[in-house]
Amino acid sequence: MGTVGIKIKLMPSSPEVNLEEIKNNAKTLIEEKDGKNCRFEEEPIAFGLKAVIAYFEWPEEKELEELEKKLKEIKNINSAEIVDMRRLL
């Protein structure tokens, strides 16, 4: 099987949330579930609120639902949404 590139948007609960803590927790979860080459960007939303965008490689044969559920359970995360998924060559 192949590998897919995943982009997930993590929305924090407020502008005061420590985004580095969210990134560290998300990276740990992604790598525990066999994700690789994880990197992050911050995307301004409004009124000082920034979303954390996670990019990583994922085995094509594995389900993403469990990972998405675990990401939503990270402290100070309101939502986790898969924004893009592409097969990597």
Query: Cα torsion at 67, 73, 76, 78 (round to 10°)?
Result: 80
- What pLDDT does 65 receive? 92
The total number of structural domains in the chain stands at 1
- Could you tell me the pLDDT band of residue 23, with boundaries at 50, 70 and 90? very high
- Could you tell me the pLDDT band of residue 89, with boundaries at 50, 70 and 90? confident
Q: Which CATH number fits the domain that encloses residue 68? A: 3.30.70.60
Q: How far is CA 52 from the centre of its chain?
A: 7
Annotate 63-81 with DSSP letters as a single string.
Answer: -SHHHHHHHHTSTTEEEEE
Give the separation between CA 16 and CA 11, rounded to whole angstroms. Answer: 12
Is pLDDT of 71 > 90?
yes
- What pLDDT does 1 receive? 76
Cα-based distances in Å from 38 to 22, 26, 28, 31, 49? 13, 9, 10, 8, 22
Domain that holds residue 19: 3-88
- What is this structure's pTM? 0.92
* Segment 24-66, tens digit of pLDDT: 999 999 999 999 999 999 999 999 999 999 999 999 999 999 9
